[in-house]
Amino acid sequence: MSTDQQTGHATEAGAPFDGRAAIEALMVAPGPPALGSAYQAMTEELRGFLDVLAGAAIDTEHAARLRAQLAQMTSRLRGLEVGEPQRLWGHWTDRPGRGQALIPSYDVPKGSLEASATVTFGRFHVGENMAVHGGAISMLFDDLLGWLLARSDLPPSRTAFLTTNFRAVTPVGVELTVHARITHVEGRKRFLAAELRHGDTVCADAEGLWVELRPGQP
Ligand SMILES: CCCCCCCCCCCCCC(=O)SCCNC(=O)CCNC(=O)[C@H](O)C(C)(C)COP(=O)(O)OP(=O)(O)OC[C@H]1O[C@@H](n2cnc3c(N)ncnc32)[C@H](O)[C@@H]1OP(=O)(O)O
């Protein structure tokens, strides 16, 4: 066995990286429950920090102080860097949000072909005019649909395309509902759709294709 220099994944000597096996291996929590709780609380704090920072008018001194504090934390974490399989970020598959702050936290049940969840975007995800950034909405759809598939009984797959329609401004700081479903499966191809609503208003919807990874495919 050797280690892929880029990803940190263990591979048979000379064998290409196997993305399907890597995803299958990650479907269990990466650490004990106490660490999971502490990590989840830390990512929630980080979300709160980004939300307040994105909404704050700070002066030069404050910006310089924050930069120094962040630099200090960054250098402390540098010594703890690991390869992708060992990292904790986004790998808490047993917890809502999975321990990441890329998109709002949500949860979907295991083993179903469709799911509804509530999400709230903060100011960190504002594009302009207090509308949620279109890229953040597409990212939510990609993540949610990918996670719905990962929680189903189907083998690992990857997004081939995702089309998002922005139907109305998506508001920030309010609860939204998102519905995702696997519409049909054709061989290795999984077709999915999703809809994001604020009350009765459809803010955005999406449809996409996920293709099942073949064993040994990166
Ligand atoms: C925490 C633990 C892990 C948790 C993991 C889950 C977290 C979830 C949340 C995180 C989520 C994050 C998610 C992410 O970030 S996923 C990252 C973003 N996506 C990618 O990087 C994908 C890059 N592309 C590929 O890897 C390959 O192209 C794939 C694998 C998709 C297909 O390449 P492959 O060589 O395997 O397949 P094929 O070419 O033989 O095609 C097979 C069939 O598919 C049809 N086709 C293919 N492409 C398209 C297209 N664009 N439009 C229409 N059709 C298309 C094609 O015509 C054919 O159909 P047919 O002729 O058979 O009828």
The DSSP annotation for 129-198 comes to TTBBPHHHHHHHHHHHHHHHHHHSSSPPEEEEEEEEEE-SPPBSSS-EEEEEEEEEEETTEEEEEEEEEE
Does the C-beta of 142 come closer than 6 Å to ligand 1? yes
Q: Taking all residues of the chain, what is their mean pLDDT, rounded to a whole number?
A: 92
The residue assigned the tokens 């809502």 is 96
pLDDT tens figures, 124-142: 999 989 899 999 999 999 9
Q: Which of 179, 183, 181, 182 lies closest to 197 in space, CA to CA?
A: 179
**Tell me, what's the pLDDT at 4?**
58
pLDDT tens figures, 9-59: 555 555 667 888 888 777 788 899 999 999 999 999 999 999 999 999 999
More confident residue, 87 or 4: 87
Expressed in angstroms and rounded, the spacing between residue 145 Cα and the centre of ligand 1 is: 13
Does the C-beta of 143 come closer than 6 Å to ligand 1? yes
Does the C-beta of 97 come closer than 6 Å to ligand 1? no
pLDDT tens figures, 193-215: 999 999 999 999 999 999 999 98
| For the CA of 157, the nearest atom of ligand 1 | 30
Does the C-beta of 147 come closer than 6 Å to ligand 1? yes
Pairing of strands 176-186, 189-198: antiparallel
- Considering the domain architecture, whether residues 90 and 194 belong to the same structural domain is answered as no
**Tell me, what's the pLDDT at 7?**
57
Give just the sign of the alpha carbon dihedral 101, 106, 109, 115: negative
What is the total count of domains within the chain? 2
Expressed in angstroms and rounded, the spacing between residue 160 Cα and the centre of ligand 1 is: 4
Q: Which of 59, 81, 101 delimits the end of a domain?
A: 101
- At position 46, the amino acid (one-letter code) is L
Query: Cα separation of 158 and 33, whole Å?
Result: 29
- Considering the domain architecture, whether residues 36 and 110 belong to the same structural domain is answered as no
Q: Which of 211, 213, 214, 217 has the most ligand 1 atoms within 8 A of CB, as the residue to mutate?
A: 211
| Long-range Cβ contacts of 52-56 (<8 Å, 24+ apart) | 52/123, 53/124, 54/122, 54/123, 54/124, 54/126, 55/123
At residue 74, does pLDDT exceed 60?
Answer: yes
Q: Which of 53, 68, 101 delimits the end of a domain?
A: 101
| For the CA of 93, the nearest atom of ligand 1 | 1
- Considering the domain architecture, whether residues 145 and 171 belong to the same structural domain is answered as yes
- The residue segments making up the domain with residue 210 are 104-218
Q: Which two tokens stand for residue 41?
A: 């609380």
**Tell me, what's the pLDDT at 5?**
53
Query: Cα separation of 149 and 124, whole Å?
Result: 27
pLDDT band at 181 (very low <50, low <70, confident <90, very high): very high
- Considering the domain architecture, whether residues 142 and 181 belong to the same structural domain is answered as yes
Does the C-beta of 100 come closer than 6 Å to ligand 1? no
**Tell me, what's the pLDDT at 3?**
58
**Tell me, what's the pLDDT at 207?**
98
The residue assigned the tokens 């950034």 is 133
Q: Which of 53, 85, 101 delimits the end of a domain?
A: 101
The CATH code of the domain that includes 199 is 3.10.129.10
Q: Which of 186, 176, 182, 185 lies closest to 148 in space, CA to CA?
A: 182
pLDDT band at 2 (very low <50, low <70, confident <90, very high): low
Asked if 20 and 213 count as a contact pair (C-beta separation under 8 A), the reply is yes
Asked if 118 and 106 count as a contact pair (C-beta separation under 8 A), the reply is yes
- Considering the domain architecture, whether residues 66 and 36 belong to the same structural domain is answered as yes
| For the CA of 26, the nearest atom of ligand 1 | 2
Does the C-beta of 161 come closer than 6 Å to ligand 1? yes
Does the C-beta of 26 come closer than 6 Å to ligand 1? yes
Query: Cα separation of 46 and 31, whole Å?
Result: 20
**Tell me, what's the pLDDT at 12?**
59
Expressed in angstroms and rounded, the spacing between residue 45 Cα and the centre of ligand 1 is: 34
| For the CA of 214, the nearest atom of ligand 1 | 36
